[in-house]
């Protein structure tokens, strides 16, 4: 299994990452894709059933695949999984498959990446009902400080949506987030993780080196590595 070193830029969530010197990436595998968690320098993996690609026909087969892949040494997390009220099947199927992935995450003791669009109440209700112990990472976050605070108080970490984090509009939120509870990601977008670090280092009045150490220590804490 690959792990980052303190000097790496950490891209906590990506799709289609390639090995880049000094960048460590958690590459996401969507269970409906044909890809596998192959050993690649600078990469480790998450695997999950994304609500966009979930159907009444494919979920049994996809859960089997997630169970098998989640045991792989190169897979460090479950997900992205969760709720989407804009795109995806009806909410009861989404909840059922999300809960199944929570059970896998808890059993195998690997944290869970969350995709959540307009379903925060659902997400919080499931977290409470399932009495989850593993930390969750809400990826692609661009909500308000109050919502971030609520999620963090329930054992979640936040990864900021790249297109939000890079813009000045995100600065007030970044300044209020607990520094030990968030991450940066490129999510398959046309943006460099180095540029994201540069922007957030200015927001937090830190050097790039300090920011690298912050996100490295967040990585260690979140994954318990
Ligand atoms: Zn993603």
Q: How far does the centroid of ligand 1 lie from the alpha carbon of residue 212, in Å?
A: 22
Ligand 1 center to residue 139 CA distance, Å? 7
Within a domain: residue 2?
A: no
Distance 75 CA to ligand 1 centre (A): 16
Tell me the pTM: 0.97
Half-sphere CA count of 125, side-chain side, radius 13 A: 6
- Evaluate whether 121 touches 56 at the Cβ level (below 8 Å): no
Residue 80 CA, ligand 1 centroid: distance in Å? 7
Q: In this structure, is residue 134 part of a structural domain?
A: yes
Those residues with Cβ within 8 angstroms of residue 62's Cβ, 6 or more apart along the chain or in another chain? 31, 32, 49, 54, 97
What is the CA(22)–ligand 1 centre distance, in A? 21
The reply to whether 120 falls in a domain is yes
pLDDT along the chain (225 residues), means of 10: 94 94 97 93 97 96 97 97 97 98 98 97 96 96 97 97 98 97 97 98 98 98 91
Residue 44 dihedral angles phi and psi, to the nearest 5° = -135, 180
Q: How far apart are the CA of 27 and the centre of ligand 1, in A? A: 9
Question: How far does residue 47's CA lie from ligand 1's centre (Å)?
Answer: 11
Domain for residue 4, yes or no?
A: no
77 Cα–ligand 1 center, Å: 13
C-alpha of residue 91 to centroid of ligand 1, in Å: 20
| Centroid of ligand 1 to alpha carbon of 26 (angstroms) | 11
Q: Show the domain range for 172.
A: 9-223
Q: Indicate whether 131 belongs to any domain.
A: yes
**Is residue 160, in this structure, part of any structural domain at all?**
yes
How far is CA 18 from its chain centroid?
A: 18
DSSP label at 142? -
152: left (phi over 0), alpha (psi -120 to 50) or beta: alpha
Give me the pLDDT at residue 1, please: 78
Span from the CA of 170 to the centroid of ligand 1 (angstroms) = 19
The pLDDT of residue 225? 74
Task: Please write down the long-range contacts of 162-166, taking CB distance under 8 Å and 24 or more positions apart.
Answer: 162/186, 162/187, 162/189, 162/191, 162/196, 163/189, 163/191, 165/196, 165/199, 165/200, 166/191, 166/195, 166/196, 166/199
Could you tell me the distance, in angstroms and rounded to a whole number, from the CA of residue 28 to the centre of ligand 1?
7
**CATH number, domain at 142?**
3.20.20.140
Give distance in angstroms: CA of 30 to centre of ligand 1: 9
Is 83 among the domain residues? yes
Q: What pLDDT was estimated at residue 86?
A: 97
**Is residue 3 included in any domain, yes or no?**
no
Output the CA 140–ligand 1 centroid distance in Å. 7
Measure the CA–CA gap between 99 and 77, rounded to whole angstroms: 15
Q: Cα of 12 to ligand 1 centre, how many Å?
A: 10
For residue 106 the two structure tokens come to 């808890």
The structural domain count of the chain equals 1
């Amino acid at each position: 299994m690959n792990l980052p070193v303190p000097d790496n830029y950490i891209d906590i969530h990506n799709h289609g990452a390639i090995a880049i010197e000094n960048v460590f990436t958690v590459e996401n595998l969507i269970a409906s894709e044909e890809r596998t968690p192959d050993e690649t320098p600078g990469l480790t993996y998450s695997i999950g059933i994304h609500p966009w690609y979930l159907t009444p026909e494919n979920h049994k087969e996809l859960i089997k695949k997630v169970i098998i892949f989640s045991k792989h040494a190169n897979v460090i997390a479950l997900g992205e999984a969760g709720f989407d009220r804009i795109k995806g099947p009806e909410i009861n199927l989404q909840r059922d498959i999300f809960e199944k992935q929570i059970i896998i995450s808890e059993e195998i003791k690997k944290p869970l990446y969350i995709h959540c669009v307009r379903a925060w109440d659902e997400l919080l209700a499931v977290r409470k009902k399932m009495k989850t112990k593993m930390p969750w990472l809400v990826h692609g976050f661009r909500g308000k400080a109050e919502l971030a605070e609520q999620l963090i108080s329930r054992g979640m970490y936040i990864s900021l949506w790249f297109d939000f984090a890079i813009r000045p509009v995100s600065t007030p939120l970044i300044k209020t987030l607990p520094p030990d509870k968030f991450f940066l990601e490129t999510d398959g977008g046309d943006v460099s993780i180095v540029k994201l670090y540069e922007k957030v280092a200015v927001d937090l009045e830190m050097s790039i080196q300090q920011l690298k150490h912050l996100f490295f220590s967040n990585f260690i804490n979140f994954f318990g590595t």
